[in-house]
Amino acid sequence: MHHIRLQKLLSFLENEPTDPFLKYAIATEYLSQNDLEKALFYYDDLMTQHSDYVGTYYHAGKLYERLERKPEAILIYQKGMQIARKAGDNHAFSELQAVYNSAVGLDYEDD
């Protein structure tokens, strides 16, 4: 089923090569299939070509962390918070802030 969905998304992207939602959906499909390299390619493309696509930053940062590239993940979270703030997307901002805090070690709890 995942393979069919991915093929449809790739086909749609051929017709709409600049559609950020399609690129995001493809990255998510590759991630769900554990094809991290291809997922990373599409997330990186989104951050470069569609930097205002807020949804990218949380998942891209988590992928960078998963790849043990935490310094880059932290930068991605910071950029995502800036983009979310600019877009007025408080929900995305708070999610990004939470993962940023965790990545930099600020997610401790008081005893």
Does 88 reside within a domain? yes
For residue 111, the model assigns a pLDDT of 47
Does 42 reside within a domain? yes
Domain containing residue 14:
2-103
Instruction: State how many domains the chain has.
Output: 1
Is the confidence at residue 45, as pLDDT, over 90? yes
For residue 11, the model assigns a pLDDT of 96
Looking at residue 78, which CATH number applies to its domain?
1.25.40.10
Give tens-digit pLDDT for 4-26. 999 999 999 999 999 999 999 99
Is the confidence at residue 1, as pLDDT, over 70? no
Q: What sign has the CA pseudo-torsion 7, 59, 92, 2?
A: positive
pLDDT grade for 106, boundaries at 50, 70 and 90: confident
Give tens-digit pLDDT for 52-93. 999 999 999 999 999 999 999 999 999 999 999 999 999 999
Tokens of 49: 């070509």
Whether residue 31 contacts residue 39, with contact meaning beta carbons closer than 8 Å, is answered with yes
